[in-house]
Amino acid sequence: MKIDILTLFPEMFSVFNHSILAKAREKGIIDINCFNIRDFTENKHKKVDDYPYGGGAGMVMSPQPIVDCIKHVKENNGGRVIFLGPKGTTFTQSKANDLSKEENIIFLCGHYEGIDERVYNYIDEEISLGDFILTGGEMAAIPVIDSICRLVPGVLSSSSSYEDESFYNGLLEYPQYTRPEVFNGERVPEVLISGHHENIRKWRKTMSLLLTKKNRLDLFKKFSLSKEDIKLLKNIDKL
Protein backbone atom coordinates (compact mmCIF):
# COMPACT_ATOMS: atom_id res chain seq x y z
CA MET A 1 0.00 0.00 0.00
CA LYS A 2 1.20 3.48 -0.88
CA ILE A 3 0.12 6.39 1.31
CA ASP A 4 0.99 10.01 0.56
CA ILE A 5 0.30 12.67 3.18
CA LEU A 6 -0.14 16.36 2.31
CA THR A 7 0.65 18.46 5.36
CA LEU A 8 2.20 21.65 6.71
CA PHE A 9 4.03 19.65 9.40
CA PRO A 10 5.63 16.53 7.88
CA GLU A 11 7.84 16.08 10.95
CA MET A 12 4.76 15.08 12.96
CA PHE A 13 4.60 11.81 11.06
CA SER A 14 7.94 10.55 12.38
CA VAL A 15 5.76 8.34 14.60
CA PHE A 16 5.60 5.95 11.64
CA ASN A 17 9.37 5.45 11.93
CA HIS A 18 8.83 3.31 15.01
CA SER A 19 7.32 0.00 16.09
CA ILE A 20 5.20 -2.24 13.85
CA LEU A 21 4.64 0.20 10.99
CA ALA A 22 8.36 0.94 10.79
CA LYS A 23 9.02 -2.77 10.26
CA ALA A 24 6.28 -2.92 7.62
CA ARG A 25 7.89 0.00 5.80
CA GLU A 26 11.30 -1.68 5.95
CA LYS A 27 9.78 -4.81 4.38
CA GLY A 28 8.17 -2.75 1.64
CA ILE A 29 4.64 -3.72 2.66
CA ILE A 30 3.71 -0.08 3.24
CA ASP A 31 5.12 3.04 1.62
CA ILE A 32 4.37 6.27 3.53
CA ASN A 33 5.52 9.64 2.17
CA CYS A 34 4.93 13.22 3.32
CA PHE A 35 4.66 16.30 1.11
CA ASN A 36 4.94 19.78 2.59
CA ILE A 37 2.13 21.93 1.18
CA ARG A 38 4.22 25.01 1.87
CA ASP A 39 6.72 23.86 -0.80
CA PHE A 40 4.05 24.42 -3.46
CA THR A 41 2.99 27.96 -2.64
CA GLU A 42 3.62 30.68 -5.18
CA ASN A 43 3.75 33.29 -2.42
CA LYS A 44 7.27 34.67 -2.04
CA HIS A 45 6.90 34.66 1.74
CA LYS A 46 5.79 31.00 1.72
CA LYS A 47 2.35 31.92 3.01
CA VAL A 48 -0.30 29.21 2.68
CA ASP A 49 -3.22 30.98 4.37
CA ASP A 50 -5.15 34.24 4.31
CA TYR A 51 -8.04 36.05 6.00
CA PRO A 52 -11.53 34.71 5.27
CA TYR A 53 -13.78 36.65 2.90
CA GLY A 54 -16.71 38.07 4.84
CA GLY A 55 -14.69 38.46 8.00
CA GLY A 56 -14.42 36.20 11.00
CA ALA A 57 -11.78 34.78 13.30
CA GLY A 58 -8.71 32.88 12.19
CA MET A 59 -7.16 32.14 8.83
CA VAL A 60 -8.14 29.88 5.94
CA MET A 61 -5.75 27.68 3.94
CA SER A 62 -5.37 29.05 0.41
CA PRO A 63 -6.43 26.87 -2.53
CA GLN A 64 -3.37 27.35 -4.80
CA PRO A 65 -0.68 25.51 -2.78
CA ILE A 66 -3.06 22.68 -1.78
CA VAL A 67 -4.32 22.07 -5.31
CA ASP A 68 -0.82 22.22 -6.82
CA CYS A 69 0.39 19.78 -4.16
CA ILE A 70 -2.48 17.39 -4.93
CA LYS A 71 -1.74 17.57 -8.66
CA HIS A 72 1.95 16.85 -8.04
CA VAL A 73 1.23 13.82 -5.85
CA LYS A 74 -1.38 12.55 -8.30
CA GLU A 75 1.36 12.10 -10.91
CA ASN A 76 2.56 9.02 -9.02
CA ASN A 77 -0.43 8.15 -6.87
CA GLY A 78 -3.82 7.53 -8.44
CA GLY A 79 -5.54 6.90 -5.13
CA ARG A 80 -8.49 8.66 -3.57
CA VAL A 81 -7.87 12.05 -1.91
CA ILE A 82 -9.18 11.94 1.65
CA PHE A 83 -9.44 15.14 3.68
CA LEU A 84 -9.27 14.94 7.46
CA GLY A 85 -11.90 17.45 8.56
CA PRO A 86 -14.72 17.94 11.11
CA LYS A 87 -17.49 17.90 8.48
CA GLY A 88 -16.70 14.42 7.25
CA THR A 89 -18.31 11.07 8.04
CA THR A 90 -17.15 9.54 11.32
CA PHE A 91 -14.29 7.08 10.96
CA THR A 92 -15.06 3.50 12.03
CA GLN A 93 -13.40 0.10 12.05
CA SER A 94 -15.54 -0.83 9.07
CA LYS A 95 -14.12 2.12 7.15
CA ALA A 96 -10.61 1.09 8.15
CA ASN A 97 -11.30 -2.39 6.76
CA ASP A 98 -12.48 -0.92 3.45
CA LEU A 99 -9.54 1.46 3.06
CA SER A 100 -7.01 -1.26 3.94
CA LYS A 101 -7.90 -2.91 0.63
CA GLU A 102 -6.84 0.16 -1.38
CA GLU A 103 -3.47 0.13 -3.13
CA ASN A 104 -3.02 3.92 -3.04
CA ILE A 105 -4.42 6.65 -0.77
CA ILE A 106 -3.73 10.39 -0.48
CA PHE A 107 -4.47 12.12 2.83
CA LEU A 108 -4.86 15.89 3.06
CA CYS A 109 -4.39 17.50 6.47
CA GLY A 110 -6.16 20.80 7.05
CA HIS A 111 -5.21 23.56 9.49
CA TYR A 112 -6.33 26.89 10.92
CA GLU A 113 -10.05 27.55 10.25
CA GLY A 114 -10.08 25.01 7.42
CA ILE A 115 -9.51 25.00 3.67
CA ASP A 116 -10.87 27.18 0.89
CA GLU A 117 -14.15 25.60 -0.26
CA ARG A 118 -12.88 25.37 -3.84
CA VAL A 119 -10.33 22.75 -2.81
CA TYR A 120 -13.21 20.29 -2.35
CA ASN A 121 -13.31 19.99 -6.14
CA TYR A 122 -10.12 17.94 -5.80
CA ILE A 123 -11.18 15.88 -2.77
CA ASP A 124 -12.94 12.52 -2.99
CA GLU A 125 -13.96 12.10 0.63
CA GLU A 126 -13.85 13.81 4.03
CA ILE A 127 -13.32 11.83 7.23
CA SER A 128 -13.74 12.94 10.84
CA LEU A 129 -12.58 11.23 14.02
CA GLY A 130 -15.65 12.38 15.92
CA ASP A 131 -17.62 15.31 17.24
CA PHE A 132 -14.69 17.30 18.58
CA ILE A 133 -12.12 19.73 17.18
CA LEU A 134 -8.38 19.10 16.89
CA THR A 135 -5.54 21.57 16.33
CA GLY A 136 -4.89 20.15 12.87
CA GLY A 137 -5.59 17.33 10.46
CA GLU A 138 -2.29 15.68 11.34
CA MET A 139 -3.70 14.71 14.73
CA ALA A 140 -6.53 12.86 12.97
CA ALA A 141 -4.44 11.40 10.16
CA ILE A 142 -2.08 9.51 12.46
CA PRO A 143 -4.67 7.20 14.10
CA VAL A 144 -6.58 6.80 10.83
CA ILE A 145 -3.46 5.72 8.94
CA ASP A 146 -2.34 3.44 11.77
CA SER A 147 -5.71 1.69 11.96
CA ILE A 148 -5.71 1.13 8.19
CA CYS A 149 -2.12 -0.05 7.83
CA ARG A 150 -2.30 -2.66 10.60
CA LEU A 151 -5.01 -4.43 8.58
CA VAL A 152 -2.84 -4.71 5.47
CA PRO A 153 -1.74 -8.35 5.02
CA GLY A 154 1.75 -8.93 6.37
CA VAL A 155 1.86 -5.95 8.74
CA LEU A 156 0.80 -7.98 11.77
CA SER A 157 2.01 -11.52 12.40
CA SER A 158 -1.41 -12.99 11.58
CA SER A 159 -5.02 -11.97 11.05
CA SER A 160 -5.85 -13.39 14.49
CA SER A 161 -3.91 -10.45 15.93
CA TYR A 162 -6.79 -8.13 15.04
CA GLU A 163 -9.84 -10.30 14.37
CA ASP A 164 -10.70 -10.58 18.08
CA GLU A 165 -10.05 -6.91 18.84
CA SER A 166 -12.66 -4.35 19.82
CA PHE A 167 -14.93 -3.20 16.96
CA TYR A 168 -13.55 -5.68 14.38
CA ASN A 169 -16.56 -7.99 14.66
CA GLY A 170 -18.94 -5.40 16.10
CA LEU A 171 -18.19 -6.13 19.77
CA LEU A 172 -15.71 -4.91 22.36
CA GLU A 173 -12.79 -7.21 23.04
CA TYR A 174 -12.90 -9.70 25.94
CA PRO A 175 -10.62 -9.19 29.01
CA GLN A 176 -6.98 -10.23 28.64
CA TYR A 177 -4.67 -11.70 31.32
CA THR A 178 -1.01 -12.71 31.51
CA ARG A 179 1.42 -13.94 34.20
CA PRO A 180 1.48 -13.97 37.18
CA GLU A 181 -1.55 -16.16 37.80
CA VAL A 182 -2.27 -14.22 41.02
CA PHE A 183 -1.63 -10.48 41.35
CA ASN A 184 -2.51 -8.47 44.45
CA GLY A 185 -4.83 -11.25 45.52
CA GLU A 186 -6.74 -11.34 42.24
CA ARG A 187 -6.61 -14.62 40.31
CA VAL A 188 -6.86 -15.20 36.57
CA PRO A 189 -10.27 -16.72 35.70
CA GLU A 190 -10.05 -20.48 36.07
CA VAL A 191 -11.36 -21.17 32.58
CA LEU A 192 -8.36 -19.45 30.97
CA ILE A 193 -5.89 -21.86 32.59
CA SER A 194 -8.06 -24.93 32.12
CA GLY A 195 -6.66 -25.79 28.71
CA HIS A 196 -10.21 -26.40 27.45
CA HIS A 197 -10.22 -24.41 24.22
CA GLU A 198 -13.97 -24.59 23.58
CA ASN A 199 -14.82 -23.34 27.08
CA ILE A 200 -12.26 -20.55 26.68
CA ARG A 201 -13.86 -19.54 23.39
CA LYS A 202 -17.32 -19.46 24.95
CA TRP A 203 -16.08 -17.46 27.95
CA ARG A 204 -14.39 -14.88 25.72
CA LYS A 205 -17.47 -14.49 23.52
CA THR A 206 -19.69 -14.09 26.59
CA MET A 207 -17.38 -11.47 28.08
CA SER A 208 -17.36 -9.56 24.78
CA LEU A 209 -21.15 -9.55 24.72
CA LEU A 210 -21.43 -8.42 28.35
CA LEU A 211 -18.78 -5.69 28.05
CA THR A 212 -20.35 -4.33 24.89
CA LYS A 213 -23.81 -4.29 26.47
CA LYS A 214 -22.46 -2.53 29.57
CA ASN A 215 -20.07 0.00 27.98
CA ARG A 216 -21.41 0.49 24.43
CA LEU A 217 -25.12 -0.23 24.38
CA ASP A 218 -25.32 1.46 20.96
CA LEU A 219 -23.03 -1.20 19.48
CA PHE A 220 -24.82 -4.01 21.29
CA LYS A 221 -28.18 -2.97 19.85
CA LYS A 222 -26.73 -3.06 16.34
CA PHE A 223 -25.14 -6.48 16.80
CA SER A 224 -27.08 -9.47 15.46
CA LEU A 225 -27.10 -12.08 18.21
CA SER A 226 -26.71 -15.65 17.04
CA LYS A 227 -28.52 -18.56 18.68
CA GLU A 228 -25.28 -19.39 20.48
CA ASP A 229 -24.92 -15.80 21.70
CA ILE A 230 -28.41 -15.86 23.21
CA LYS A 231 -27.68 -19.21 24.85
CA LEU A 232 -24.37 -17.96 26.27
CA LEU A 233 -26.02 -14.91 27.84
CA LYS A 234 -28.74 -17.08 29.37
CA ASN A 235 -26.23 -19.53 30.83
CA ILE A 236 -23.68 -17.00 32.04
CA ASP A 237 -23.80 -18.33 35.61
CA LYS A 238 -22.59 -21.71 34.38
CA LEU A 239 -19.34 -20.36 32.98
How far lies 138's CA from each of 4, 8, 110, in Å?
Answer: 13, 9, 8
Alpha-carbon distance of 161 to 74, in angstroms, equals 34
88: closest CA among 39, 38, 134? 134
133: annotated binding-site residue?
Answer: yes
Calculate the CA 204 to chain-centre distance. Answer: 25
Residues 6+ apart with CB under 8 A from 31: 1, 2, 3, 25
Run of H or E residues at 215: helix 197-215
Strand residues in the chain grouped as ranges (E):
2-7, 31-36, 49-50, 60-61, 80-90, 104-109, 125-128, 182-183, 186-187
CB burial readout 171-210, b (16+ within 10 A) else e: bbbbeeeeeeeeeeeeeeeeebeeeeeeebebbbbbbbbb
110: annotated binding-site residue?
Answer: yes
129: annotated binding-site residue?
Answer: yes
Q: For strand 2-7 and strand 31-36, is the pairing parallel, antiparallel, or unpaired?
A: parallel
Could you list the residues known to form a binding site for S-adenosyl-L-methionine, using ranges.
Answer: 110, 129-134
Could you list the residues known to form a binding site, using ranges.
Answer: 110, 129-134
